[in-house]
Amino acid sequence: MTEPLRRRVYGADHDDPERYEQPGRDYAELVGGPLDGLLLDVTGRPPESLTAGAALTTEIGKHGPGGRAEYQPRPGDTGRWDWVGDTP
């Protein structure tokens, strides 16, 4: 029997015991760009922040350490956020 796929959450350290999705939490999947495949924890966020998207700090984007990867909710599928580019 195979173990179910566990997906990592953005912002969790590699040695964090809760670095994978947790029951009772709400997530958006990041699609494309440097954070592709990670989950963004959106639990408890107000609806307006879910439509605004996010600029997420990453060291592996175009601008290196301190840069940000911008993601926007996919129209019609707020459970997936698409990469729209990197900013310094």
Give tens-digit pLDDT for 12-50.
887 887 788 999 999 999 999 999 999 999 999 998 888
Give tens-digit pLDDT for 59-80.
887 888 889 999 999 998 989 9
Please tell me the pTM assigned to this model.
0.86
β-partners of residue 88 are: none
Q: Where are the domains of the chain?
A: 1-88
CA atoms within 13 A on the CB side of 23: 0
**What does the DSSP 8-state code read for residue 59?**
S
Residue 26: both structure tokens together: 């709400």
CA pseudo-torsion sign 23, 83, 61, 45: negative
Q: Where are the beta strands (DSSP E) in the chain?
A: 27-31, 39-41, 54-58, 67-74, 77-87
